[in-house]
Amino acid sequence: MSQPLLQLSRLSKSYSVGTPVEVEVLHALDLILETGEFAALIGPSGSGKSTLLNLLGLLDRPTAGDLILLGRATRELSDADRTRLRGQKIGFVFQFHHLLSAFSATENVLMPIMAAQGRPTADDVAKAHALLDEVGLSAHRDKRPGQLSGGQQQRVAICRALINAPALLLADEPTGNLDTATSADVFELFRRFNRERELTVLVVTHDPRLSAQCDRVIELVDGDIASDRRQVASKGE
């Protein structure tokens, strides 16, 4: 039996540890994500979703418990090793695209490579162009973010998240800033990359229309997993 892509074992996160105002935000969570899963993470504001996403993305460390990514225990890794693993295996898409206004779409897609190794190679540029072509932006490669619509900017952000061929894509309210039609288009891109690349996708969303289209819905309430259900995803409109 193959190992899970991601496994949490009794994962907890507290803030202000050792002080009178110490608070535990996540309580001994157990969770497994398999390769190729497409899951939604839902829950009310203050439930711990952002904290959990930061832990899953290796942006923060748990207070207790283990997070194993692709068979590798991550809690005791050095900061440098965590940064390297995050850059190689995890992609991020946020509600706000965080594109750099002074750079073209192609250059924004290449930012993770440039941050890791400096000047991109010709193969890297070709890879960025291929991704932009896949999301329908072949005519917009040289445009800056200010020349693109909100949906086009989010597509560039998706390409940036995928440039290093990650195993896990974490998306935090990725359609929260978009209209309904554009949201559906962007969500379908996630679905397509999930199917075609066996990319594991976890989407944080408050939109029930989006969570209804996911294969699995994990609900977080007050730092605990209140429910974890698999479903036949709706095809939507």
> Which residues, other chains included, contact 22 with Cβ-Cβ below 8 Å and sequence gap of 6+?
14, 15, 16
- Identify the residue whose tokens are 């999930």: 194
DSSP string covering 14-31, please?
EESTTSTT-EEEEEEEEE
Q: Which CATH class is domain 36-60+79-230?
A: alpha beta
With 0-12 CB in 10 A as exposed, 13-18 as middle and 19+ as buried, what is 108? buried
pLDDT tens-digit readout, 192-225: 899 988 999 999 988 888 899 899 999 999 999 9
pLDDT-derived band of residue 13, with 50, 70 and 90 as boundaries? very high
Total count of residues recorded for the chain: 237
In sequence order, the β-bridge partners of residue 203 are 40, 171
Is the per-residue pLDDT at 52 higher than 70? yes
85-134 per-position pLDDT tens digit:
998 899 998 877 789 999 999 999 999 988 877 888 999 999 999 999 98
State the maximum Cα–Cα separation within the chain, in Å, rounded to a whole number: 57
- What percent of the chain shows pLDDT beyond 90? 60
User: What local confidence, expressed as pLDDT, does residue 174 receive?
Assistant: 81
